[in-house]
Amino acid sequence: MKKGMAYILFAGTVVGATACTSAGNVRRSAMSEEERAFRATCTSCHSLPDPSSKTDEEWVVIVERHAKMLDLQAVDQEKILRYLQLSN
């Protein structure tokens, strides 16, 4: 009887852990390519800015300035700008 109860508890723990892992994977895969570029590039130097803190026009200037400093490829610059403008 005790073995049966232990098995049920163990199985419940494994199922719960699997659900948590699956939910975490869903979150990572739900992140857009643009958001991934933004997070990967911008966190290398500072904390992430709030996209709503600037206007579309302000983000153009800021992203261009940072892209020059980082020698960022145009495709990555476009992704980051798109993310910021769609998120503000």
Chunked in runs of 10, what are the mean pLDDT values of the chain (88 residues)?
46 42 55 96 95 98 97 97 96
The pLDDT score that the predictor gives to residue 3 is 54
The pLDDT score that the predictor gives to residue 14 is 42
Q: Do the Cβ atoms of 88 and 59 come closer than 8 Å?
A: yes
Check the CA dihedral 75-80-85-86 and report its sign. positive
The Cα 62–Cα 33 span in angstroms is 20
| Report field, pTM of the whole predicted structure over 0.75 | no
79, two tokens? 């992704």
The pLDDT score that the predictor gives to residue 2 is 54
The pLDDT score that the predictor gives to residue 29 is 67
Q: Which of 87, 85, 4, 81 is nearest to 41 (CA)?
A: 81
Residue type, 73: Q
